[in-house]
Structure 1
Amino acid sequence: MADASVESAKRAAAIQAVADHFDPSASHVGIGSGTTIVYVVEAIKAKSTNPNIRFVPTGYQSRQVIVQAGLTPIAFDSLPEQVMLDVAFDGADEVDEDLNCIKGGGACLFQEKLVAERAKKFVCVADYRKKQSRLLTNWPTIPIEVAPIAVPTVLHSLRVLGSPSPKLRTTLLEKSGPLKTDQDFFIIDAPFPSLLIEADMASGKGKGDGSDGTWEVTKIAQAIKELTGVLEVGIFSGLNGVDAESVRAKSGGRTVVTGGQKPVAVYFGLQDGTVELRVAKA
Structure 2
Amino acid sequence: MRLTAGASILLASSAHAFTNPAFFPRTATFASTSSYTSALILKMGVDQDELKKQVGYKAVDDYVKSGMVVGLGTGSTAYYAVERVGEKLKSGELKDVLAIPTSIRTKEQAESLGIPLVTLDTHSKLDVAIDGADGVDPELNLTKGGGGALFREKIVEICADKFIVIVDESKLCDGLGPGFPIPVEILPFCHEHTMRVIGELPSCKGCKPVLRMGSSTNNQVDGDEIAISDNGNYLVDLHFEDPIKDPAKMAQELKNVVGVVEHGLFCGMSTAVIIAGADGISVKEAK
Normalising by the smaller structure, the TM-score range is 0.7 to 0.9
Asked if 1 retains the 8 angstrom alpha-carbon contact of 2:86 and 2:110, the reply is no
The equivalent position to 1:236 in structure 2, one of 261, 266, 273, is: 266
Separation (CA, whole Å) in 2 of partners of 1:146 and 1:118: 22
Kindly indicate whether residue 173 of structure 2 is the aligned counterpart of residue 135 of structure 1: no
- Percent identical among aligned pairs is 30
How far 1:47 moved relative to its partner? Answer: 3.4
1:218 corresponds in structure 2 to 248
CA distance 1:20–1:192, change in 2 (3 Å) = same
2:187 corresponds in structure 1 to 147
Matches within 5 A, 1:1-282: 2=42, 5-26=47-68, 28-48=69-89, 49=92, 50-79=94-123, 83-139=124-180, 141-161=181-201, 162-172=205-215, 173-175=222-224, 177-195=225-243, 215-238=245-268, 262-271=269-278, 274-281=280-287
How far 1:4 moved relative to its partner? Answer: 6.0
Equivalent position SS for 2:67: coil
Separation (CA, whole Å) in 2 of partners of 1:64 and 1:51: 20
1:208 corresponds in structure 2 to none
Asked if 1 retains the 8 angstrom alpha-carbon contact of 2:164 and 2:273, the reply is yes
Asked if 2 retains the 8 angstrom alpha-carbon contact of 1:11 and 1:39, the reply is yes
Asked if 1 retains the 8 angstrom alpha-carbon contact of 2:184 and 2:238, the reply is yes
How far 1:269 moved relative to its partner? Answer: 1.4
Separation (CA, whole Å) in 2 of partners of 1:195 and 1:219: 13
Separation (CA, whole Å) in 2 of partners of 1:280 and 1:89: 15
Separation (CA, whole Å) in 2 of partners of 1:130 and 1:216: 19
TM-superposition CA deviations, 1:86-115 (whole Å, max 9, x none): 100111110111110010100100010000
RMSD: 1.9
Equivalent position SS for 1:122: strand
Asked if 2 retains the 8 angstrom alpha-carbon contact of 1:169 and 1:186, the reply is yes
Gaps of at least 5 residues in structure 2 are 1-40, 216-221
Separation (CA, whole Å) in 2 of partners of 1:130 and 1:271: 13
Segments ≥4 residues shifted beyond 2 Å: 1-4, 42-52, 75-79, 172-175, 192-196
CA distance 1:24–1:268, change in 2 (3 Å) = same
Separation (CA, whole Å) in 2 of partners of 1:277 and 1:193: 29
How far 1:182 moved relative to its partner? Answer: 1.0
Separation (CA, whole Å) in 2 of partners of 1:57 and 1:279: 24
TM-score, with structure 2 as normaliser: 0.76
Gaps of at least 5 residues in structure 1 are 197-214, 239-261
Asked if 2 retains the 8 angstrom alpha-carbon contact of 1:150 and 1:228, the reply is no
Computing the radius of gyration over CA atoms, which structure comes out larger, 1 or 2?
2
TM-superposition CA deviations, 1:113-155 (whole Å, max 9, x none): 000111111101111111112212421x110000001311122
Work out the number of aligned pairs and report it: 233
TM-score, with structure 1 as normaliser: 0.77
CA distance 1:77–1:182, change in 2 (3 Å) = farther
1:246 corresponds in structure 2 to none
Separation (CA, whole Å) in 1 of partners of 2:107 and 2:277: 27
TM-superposition CA deviations, 1:68-90 (whole Å, max 9, x none): 222111233343xxx41010011
